[in-house]
Amino acid sequence: MSSFSNICYFFVLSIFFIGSCRGDREPFSSGKKLMEQYCGSCHLPVEAELLNRDRWLNSVLPAMAPELGIEVYQKKQYYPNPQTSVVSLEEWTKIVEYFEENAPEKIDVNPSQTLQKESDLFSVQTPRWVDSLHNIATTTLVTFDPFGGRIYSHDETTKWLYRWDADLKPEVIRTLDQPEVSLSLMKDSTQSVHGFLTSIGTLKAINVSNGKLTDYNFENGSSNVIGRGLPRPVHAASGDFNNDGRRDWLVCSFGHDTGGLYIFEQQKNQEYTKKTIRAVPGALDAKVGDFNNDGWQDIIALFAHGNEGIWMMINDQEGGFTSKNILQFPPVYGSTSFQLKDVNQDGHPDIIYTAGDNADYSQILKPYHGIYIFINQGDFTFEEEYFYHLNGATKAVAADFDDDGDLDIAAHAFLRI
């Protein structure tokens, strides 16, 4: 879902801006400087050594070229389109030559750590299926029920929302028309359990805005759509961002060429008003909290896609947020998750981050895929302290799983190659 699949969206925006000023500067002679100028204005420049030469020349660069008005023939020959080209053929050729001359033939992926093959801390239980429609695994959601100790899941093949008991026997709760990717369970004033479901709309990486956030009352079966027409939303978190005592919702819309971070503010009549916080595709996950201790809820959000990184949005107490980038990653990393946790127990939240999305134009093993720990220096500036290589790292969760008084990390991975 992330990485280079949509880097060109950001790339083109920067090119149009820079192109308007081309008459005021001399053209760069260095392919690396051209790459830094065009790419670095909207995301971290991607050094040639982060991918092998084959991926650059036969996949990534041919995919980027048409977005700049450069036509491609058999992934090797480039021709500028006079109507759409925003970079000259000479400049594009120098960029290609930079990667051709500096990218390695092969990337060395030899992790220094070794995995323990077995552990007696966990045991595997398999579900007791009640149907015969599961020849293909299409689970899009798994959530633990904090009230009943059960598990909820959604399956794209059957369209069913399941509730699993302690013996992993499923009960079909209802049929849903879209892939559900996020679920928050809460109780209302009558102690009825509500499920706030995020529907992505489509799993395909396309420009379709039919996702939604829905409040389902699991007690009486009623439902209320909080927000609809969203570009591929993947996560929702609750908060009270305007301090009016009513629950609002923060939605991460990953999108494709368009997307963003949105707040749905609850009104007195229980309707919701949509407010855009950051209109950039790739919004993947977000945490809500009062991070500057002023009594107002702030946001820390992870964006993948092209301009990958983690942003802090400080509530300005006037209906808006002041945004600050606190971590930034190259677009080939494939950001997948983050968690706030006080790893060193100094009273400041640290960041546990995973990179491992490989579903893009650079499907190779990558030595920078894995689990990262960034330590908060006390003012929400972070320094990397730990890295564990894990191909296709998807999520890491820190908790004291063995009850020995310190934090452990459980992680899972999915690698497409």
Q: What does the alpha-carbon distance between residue 324 and residue 206 come to, in Å, rounded to a whole number?
A: 29
pLDDT tens, residue by residue, 315-367: 999 999 999 999 999 989 999 999 999 999 999 999 999 999 998 888 899 99
Residue 11 reports pLDDT greater than 70 = no
Q: Which residue stretches of 61-167 are H helix? A: 61-64, 89-102
Q: Give the C-alpha distances (Å, rounded to integers) separating 94 from 30, 56, 102, 203.
A: 7, 14, 12, 37
Instruction: Place 398 in a pLDDT band, splitting at 50, 70 and 90.
Output: very high
Q: How high is the pLDDT of residue 185?
A: 96
The tokens for 199 are: 């529907």
Question: Which strands make up the sheet holding 283-289, listed edge to edge?
Answer: 283-289, 298-303, 308-315, 321-329
Q: Which of 35-49, 120-134, 232-246 has the lowest mean pLDDT?
A: 120-134
* Sign of the alpha-carbon dihedral angle for 252, 255, 260, 266: negative
E-only strand ranges, 316-404: 321-329, 335-341, 350-355, 370-376, 382-389, 393-399
Query: Chain-wide mean pLDDT for the chain?
Result: 88
Q: How high is the pLDDT of residue 42?
A: 63
Average pLDDT over residues 373-381: 95
H-run or E-run covering 15:
helix 7-19
Average pLDDT over residues 383-406: 94
